[in-house]
Structure 1
Amino acid sequence: MLLLTNGTVITHDQENRIIKNGAVLIDGGEIKALGETELLKSKYSEAEVKDVEGKVIMPGMINTHMHIYSTFARGMDLKTDQPPRHFLEILEKMWWRVDSTLKADDIYFSALYAFLTGLKQGVTSVFDHHASYGQVRYSLDLIAKAVEELGIRADLCYEISDRNGPEQSQDSIAESENFLRKIREKNLDHLNGRIGLHASFTLEDETLEQVSALADDLDSSFHIHVAEGQTDLEDSRLRGYNGAVRRLDQYNIWRPGTMAIHGVHLQEGELEILRDNDCYLINNPESNMGNAVGAAPLKEALDKGLKVGLGTDGYTTDMFESIKFANLILKHQNRDPRLGWTEIPQMVFKTNAELATETFGPRLGVLEAGAAADIIVVDYKSPTEINSDNTYAHILFGINGGMVDTTIVKGRILMENREVQVVDDEKITHETGEQADDFWRRF
């Protein structure tokens, strides 16, 4: 057993309890007890003690939409005469060229570096949406290899699309099916998957019929971009539907657990379709602002009772950073400084945790007896009191991913005192850089 002592424990439980001079007892992959340090030290004297010296102890962060394959795009020359003018050109001139260039080593090192960076920033669970049309087959296995080496939790999918023609479309469906069947047989609590789809405007009716039938067979939900840019809306209207959600609804894409990503250009009645089918809307504020596509109707979605979570879309691996932007855009969009104080914590610490718990099995995103021991220690010593009413304000204004000191997943210490314990951090960074150079030459 491992006992984390002398910390300020932020539980994120139903009462949002704060335990000052608190301790958390880890037994195997679970939390066995929480309480004041001296009480737990005397009660569990046989436990190994790690004194966190006044730092914050809190649940690990959960990123509900990521693109690890974007790693090598950082600082890359697009080799084009004119920069992208709008979202569709961003896809055509950048991301679709990136994913068509990716080969096996690119996929593996992109995943290893991105997941490792997130781990160092306190991210313990990631929902990744992958595309690599330069190598479709076995691409998810390469990502899963990185997940296993690092010891994090991940939900993986391959982005099925018809944009490259029927042969690669069928390859992507086969990759999705093969990977899901393999991991379902293993019944893992750290690695899962669902069927990934790009977006309505790159999916033909026949493909939607095929993946819907596959989802029925595999008892799978979907992970899909929806109404991210204006193109999705315009394409749906050309097909006779007022919105991408309405079109996809005809093919039973909206089912319990399906993740609808972005939702910037949703039309009247579409929030209700997602809500009534027990789906999740995942917001990615930095990406939306960076691509200049607009802002999702978060307040309306939450008011209607839709489950709304928060991801990063590959823009960053730091969920603390995403929190700050989500808070700002919600206030700015509605011109109301009162917003954000309850909505963003609900998205990050409740809905993300609910989705992760449904996906992996153990109770995640909370520190309480019986919950999974996915825990981070943050080197944050506040000048003001931390209490049950103001934890979000401390996280919002005081904490960033670079302050994470220790990351624990399933009771295993992956990073301690800012030193990664499970892999050679410097070696991976060096090898990733060499692979990125090779990728840039081929791009």
Structure 2
Amino acid sequence: MLLIGNGNVITRQPENGFIKNGCVVIDGQTIKEVGTTTALKAKYPEEEFIDAKGGMIMPGFVNMHNHIYSTFARGLSINGYHPKDFLDILKGQWFRLDSELNNKTTYASGKVAYLDSIKNGVTTMFDHHASYGQTRGSLGELSKAADELGVRTCLCYEVSDRHGEGAMKEAVAENLEFIEAAKQRHDDMQHAMMGLHAAFTLSDPTLEYVREQTPEDVGFHIHVAEGMADVYDSLAKYNKPIVNRLFDWGILGKQTMAGHCIHIGPHEMALLRDTDTMVVTNPESNMGNAVGCPSVLRMLNDYHLLVGLGTDGFTNDMMESFKFANLIHKHQLADPNAGAAEVPEMIFANNPQMANRLFNTKLGVLEPGAAADVIVVDYQSPTPVTADNYNGHILFGVNGRMVNDTIINGQVRMRNREVVGVDEAKIWADAHEQSQLLWQRING
């Protein structure tokens, strides 16, 4: 067993959500007990003890939407790239980048992204992958990287028509192969969805083909109305809004996640609600791409949608998304109170609830039987941390790099900021080598 104590335990339980000088007991892959440090150290005096030194002990973070393939875009300069709108960003950077990715690049970027997730306290990551330079086997490379770093992950490949029918069908086949591989694992560390890019790169014949090929118990991970070009395309070509079109092709549902949903109307929100479709927003990325701010508070309060937070490849630090989500809705609505309750709900309650539509072990809470995904944050506060204000302390005082220890599935993956059993120097060296080769291919 392993004890983590001498800190402020934020359990995320509806009752007993905060324990001063608390302790968490891990037995195998799940949590055995939660209580005070004094009581649990006395009960288990011989067990290994991680001292939080007065910091915060919390459930690991869940990232509901990421793009590992964007890892090597950091510092990239593309010849002639001067985007004027979101379509320019997609065509000029991301489509060019993913067209040059091969499996070596994918694996190296996966190692970096999962390593960085551990260092930022992210214990579960949902990724949306594209590597049209080499599609087949790419999800297997990400799966291998996740296994080697020990991070929970849900993977899919971005199906699109932008490279023709053959490439589209190859992308569907890659999804189906990993869906089957994930089903064979039985360890609840990796799951799969059917990835779709966005409606404006998916024809009706493609949606029909994808729906026919996808098992009924598998959901879809798709970008929805991230930019206005997506909206205009659906109205011009199909005479219907995006969400209606996806509904008509059987894409929506409890296992499906719609990313962004910036430019959707009330009837589309109602349709997402009626189909119990999940929504994930990515405030930092949306601001960077200048695509707008979704009506998240309306989705949550008026339509009771299950809405969570992701990073969209912008970062692996969920605390950044938390802070940006807190700001963007206040700024957009000119209301200093906007999102005060909803934003913490999205990241701390909804993200785990969404993830548990695929993962079986209870995530995002410290209680007996829940996943032993626990982080320790080195946080010393100038003011008291209490049961009433700990979310405020996290919002204004915590970032991912303050995570000191990360335990995933009962395994200590980072101790005192040192990732356990991993040759970090090799990961970074391989990343530098592969990124340089990628940049040469892009600008060659």
* Aligned equivalent of 1:226: 224
Q: Matches of 1:127 and 1:282 in 2, distance apart? A: 11
Q: Percent identity?
A: 50
Q: Deviations over 1:366-406 (max 9, x none)?
A: 11111111000000011212122211101100000110000
Q: Matches of 1:240 and 1:196 in 2, distance apart? A: 22
8 Å CA contact retained: 1:341, 1:392: no
How far off its partner does 1:218 sit?
A: 4.9
CA RMSD of aligned residues (A): 1.1
Greater shift, 412-421 or 217-226, is seen at: 217-226
The residue type equivalent to 1:10 in the other structure is: I
Give secondary structure in 2 for the equivalent of 1:348: helix
How far off its partner does 1:320 sit?
A: 0.3
* Aligned equivalent of 1:25: 25
* Aligned equivalent of 1:357: 356
8 Å CA contact retained: 1:208, 1:251: yes
Q: Does 1:329 align with 2:328?
A: yes
* Aligned equivalent of 1:423: 422
Structure 2, unpaired ranges of 5+: none
Q: Does 1:158 align with 2:142?
A: no
* Aligned equivalent of 2:314: 315
Q: Deviations over 1:122-172 (max 9, x none)?
A: 000000000000000010000000000000100000000011101100100
Q: Does 1:236 align with 2:234?
A: yes
How far off its partner does 1:429 sit?
A: 1.0
Q: Matches of 1:323 and 1:16 in 2, distance apart? A: 23
The residue type equivalent to 1:124 in the other structure is: T
Q: Deviations over 1:53-95 (max 9, x none)?
A: 1111001010000000001111111111x50110001111100
Q: Deviations over 1:20-39 (max 9, x none)?
A: 11111000011111111111
* Aligned equivalent of 1:378: 377
What pairs up with 1:75-86 in 2 under 5 angstroms?
75-80=75-80, 82-86=81-85
Q: Does 1:115 align with 2:81?
A: no
8 Å CA contact retained: 2:297, 2:339: no
Q: Matches of 1:392 and 1:47 in 2, distance apart? A: 31
Give secondary structure in 2 for the equivalent of 1:4: strand
8 Å CA contact retained: 2:306, 2:354: no
* Aligned equivalent of 1:254: 252
How far off its partner does 1:424 sit?
A: 1.1
Q: Matches of 2:55 and 2:356 in 1, distance apart? A: 26
* Aligned equivalent of 1:296: 294
Q: Deviations over 1:212-269 (max 9, x none)?
A: 1223x35201000000001110011012334211111110110112100000111230
Greater shift, 302-311 or 336-345, is seen at: 336-345
8 Å CA contact retained: 1:59, 1:376: yes
| TM-score, length-scaled by structure 2 | 0.98
How far off its partner does 1:421 sit?
A: 0.2
How far off its partner does 1:187 sit?
A: 2.4
Q: Matches of 2:11 and 2:336 in 1, distance apart? A: 27
| TM-score, length-scaled by structure 1 | 0.98
Q: Does 1:343 align with 2:342?
A: yes
Count of aligned positions? 441
How far off its partner does 1:434 sit?
A: 1.5
Q: Matches of 2:255 and 2:387 in 1, distance apart? A: 30
* Aligned equivalent of 2:34: 34
The residue type equivalent to 2:135 in the other structure is: V
* Aligned equivalent of 2:8: 8
Q: Does 1:128 align with 2:89?
A: no
What pairs up with 1:46-85 in 2 under 5 angstroms?
46-80=46-80, 82-85=81-84
Structure 1 residue ranges, 4+ long, deviating more than 6 angstroms after superposition: none
Relative distance call for 1:218 and 1:142 in structure 2 (3 A) is: farther
Q: Matches of 1:182 and 1:7 in 2, distance apart? A: 40
How far off its partner does 1:175 sit?
A: 0.6
Greater shift, 122-131 or 431-440, is seen at: 431-440
* Aligned equivalent of 2:146: 147
8 Å CA contact retained: 1:30, 1:410: yes
8 Å CA contact retained: 1:233, 1:242: no
Give secondary structure in 1 for the equivalent of 2:322: helix
* Aligned equivalent of 1:407: 406
Give secondary structure in 2 for the equivalent of 1:414: strand
Q: Does 1:367 align with 2:366?
A: yes
